[in-house]
Amino acid sequence: MPGFPEIRPRRLRRTPALRRLVAETVVSPSQLVLPLFVAEDATEPREISSMPGVVQHTRDSLKKAATDAVEAGLGGVMLFGLPAEKDPIGSGAIDPHGILNVAISDVISEVGDQLTVMADLCLDEFTDHGHCGVLDPDGWVDNDRTIEIYGQMAVAQAAAGVDLVAPSGMMDGQVGMIRQALDDGEHSDVGIMAYSAKYSSAFFGPFREAVNSSLKGDRKTYQQDPANGREGVREAQLDVAEGADIVMVKPAMSYLDVVSAVRAAVDVPVAAYNISGEYSMVEAAAANGWIDRDTAIVEVLTSIRRAGADIVLTYWALDAADLLTR
C-alpha cells in the first residue's frame, strides 16, 4: 500500500545528530558524584581486587582525585574514611583528627567550593563489629544511642568543612537528630543528603572489601527488605519531613522502580547510588569481552537518570565524564 506505514518514528533515529536532538534523557558530568575511599594507614593507593580501577587512597592521592573531579566537571565527591583502628562505638568517626574528618579538610583545602564535598555519615567503617550503629547487650543495633552519635559525627564533619552529610545507617529518626545537632552547633548551612531507601542488597559485596568491613552476619534488621517498594517511598517522605535536603535510593539498577516512585512522591532532589556490585558486574563482563564497556556505562547511567534521579553516585563518574563529552 503506497505511503504505508504513515507513522515512521525511525525517521528521528536515522543519524547520531537526530538522536541527540530528540533525546529525552541527558546525563551530564555535573549530575555525577564520585565515591572515594581514603585509608588512614595507606602509604600508596591500594587496589580493590573486586572493583577494578577503584583504589583506597592515601591523603595525598585523595587530593589529586578531587582535583581530577573538578577538571572533569563532576558535581561532587562522596568521601569514605577507613581508620587504622576500630572499636565497639566507632569513636574514630567523631574524632576531629580521625581519617574521615581530616580527609574532608584536605579536599576542601585543595578544591574549595569548586566541588560539592559530601561525606558518608555512618559507623560501619569505624566499628570493630562492622554494624552501622552501637550494639546493646544482646547484640542488636541500638537505634537511639546510635543516632545520638550520628549527631556528634555530623557536627565533626561540619567543623571539617563538609558541604553535605550523608547519613546511610537507616536508623529511625537519624535525619531529624542530625538536623537538630547541626543547627544547635551553628552549622545550619550544612545540608543533609539522606540514604533514605537503602536496601539490604547482595550487590554490596565488593564495597565490603573497599571499606575493610568487619561485619559478620547482615544488616537486615535496619536496611530495607528488597521486596518492599512502598516502604522506600515512606522512608523518603519521613526523611524529607525531618529535614533532608536530598533523598537517595541505594542500590540503583535493581531499584529503578523505587527511584521513579520516590521522584514522584517528594519535592526535593533525588539521588541514586550505582553501587559496587553493579559496577563490578559490568567491569567483569567487559573484561571477558561479553559486552562493550563504554556503551554499557552510558546506558546504565542513562537508565538511572531516566528513572528520575537528579544525581547519580557512581564509581564510573570520571570515565563517564570523558565519554559524555567526547
Catalytic annotation, residues: 198, 250
SS3 54: coil
35: phi then psi, degrees, rounded to nearest 5:
-70, 140
How many other β-carbons are positioned within 10 Å of the β-carbon of residue 202? 10
The strand ranges marked E within the chain are 32-39, 46-47, 55-57, 76-82, 116-121, 164-167, 191-198, 246-250, 270-274, 311-314
In the block, cell 535536603 appears at 245
C-alpha span between 42 and 62 (Å, rounded):
11
Q: Is 132 exposed, middle or buried (0-12, 13-18, 19+ CB in 10 A)?
A: buried
30: amino acid identity, one letter:
S
Closest by CA position to 313, among listed 134, 193, 218 = 193
Of 165, 166, 176, nearest to 143 by C-alpha is: 176
> What is the C-alpha to C-alpha distance for residues 271 and 193, in angstroms, rounded to an integer?
8
CB atoms within 10 A of CB 242: 17
**Which positions ≥6 away from 204 have C-beta within 8 Å?**
251, 275, 276, 277
List, as one string, the DSSP characters of 111-169.
Answer: HGGGSEEEEEE-STTTBTT--SS-B-TTS-B-HHHHHHHHHHHHHHHHHHT-SEEEE-S
3-state class (DSSP) for residue 239? helix
